[in-house]
Amino acid sequence: MRTSELCDFEKALSEMNNNLSQIVFVFEQFFISNKDNISKHPEMLTTKKYSENKYASQFNVKLKDLNNQASLSLDYVFDSLFVFAYAQFEIYLKDVYLFVKDNINHDLSELPESRLYEVVLERLGIDTKNDIDNLFVSTFHYFKLRRNAIMHRDKSRRFQGALEYLIKGSFSKDPDKRKLFSDNQLNGKQLNAEWKKYVANLKSLGQKGYAVKTIDFAAKDISKVLLSDLFDVFNFYRLYAETIDEIIINKADRSKLLNFCKTKYDEFYPNVAGEDFESFSKKFGRISKIALNLTVEKHEAEKIYSGV
């Protein structure tokens, strides 16, 4: 089972992935197509060479400098998408929390503006020590700290503070630094080792699944986000959201999930009074699959049909 909020989140990540792929394709194709122009006219300005481009006046550089400018632009795009992926994950957390509040636990209060991740998991009864693989929890903390560094620090000063402690592992024996992390936080080298084991385990089982494959969590030069880093980031958030979503669904009262599906059924089939059970059962089963990927048992459909 899964929530529609998870589906929306995965669609958002797929859109980001597709847009990123298009951006790097267009950049690469530009230099392939203009290789001769750049080499023959290195001092020519873009405003002259590409005067037919309606945006030419907004970008006036020598052709020989285009490669460096493109590199800077891609750095900006990669940084932005790293931050945006985190924002999309927070949107998912808010949305799935509201799903639970509206349909499963009406006693939940409104979310605060800060500590969203921690508050959502705490209020939904998700224990990061026992319910979630520490590898995922530790990886998320690394991504959160790195996202904060991108947003609040100059490129040259990203490797400092809690992120530096995590990458180097210097927090393990320092009580003051230790307070910044969970008891089981993995350091950079440990994250690398554990993800290597995770990927190897998937392979040995003949399974396909999302995983982090190329990011070097122990790297001290974090001034740039690499293209391969972003694909790992997208895959991690897919994996982590799926994990959280599964826990939420499994903890939910099944009768309330069925009632939610019945609400969706009533919205989709508003005028079906008097229909026979067989027709209802097929339609309700289909709606339940769409809404929550929930397989309805016959006795459950009978109860819903009879209004019990």
Note the pLDDT tens digit of each residue in 23-79.
999 999 999 999 999 999 999 999 999 999 999 999 999 999 999 999 999 999 999
Do 229 and 99 lie in one domain? The reply is yes
On whether both 267 and 173 belong to a single domain, the answer is no
| C-alpha to C-alpha distance for 80 and 295, rounded to whole angstroms | 40
Among 221, 252, 283, the domain boundary falls at 252
Residues 219 and 144 in one domain: yes
- Total number of domains in the chain: 2
Question: Same structural domain for residues 142 and 277?
Answer: no
For 289, the domain range is: 255-306
* Single residue among 232, 252, 272 that ends a domain in this structure: 252
43, 72: one domain = yes
pLDDT at 308: 57
Torsion of CA 279, 280, 285, 288, to 10 degrees: 140
pLDDT at site 23? 97
Are 57 and 158 found together in one domain?
Answer: yes
Total residue length of the chain = 308
Domain boundary among 252, 275, 292: 252
Per-residue pLDDT band at 307 (split at 50, 70, 90): confident
Nearest Cα neighbor of 121 from 85, 88, 129, 232 is 129
Same-domain check for residues 73 and 199: yes
Residues 189, 293 within the same domain: no
Question: In the predicted model, is pLDDT for residue 193 greater than 60?
Answer: yes
Rounded Cα distance, 4 and 20, in Å: 24
CA angle (30 as vertex; 29, 31 as ends), nearest 5: 90
Residues 192 and 263 in one domain: no
Statement to judge: residues 220 and 164 lie in one domain: yes
pLDDT, mean over the chain: 96
Reported as a single tens digit per residue, the pLDDT across 237-273 is 999 999 999 999 999 999 999 999 999 999 999 877 7
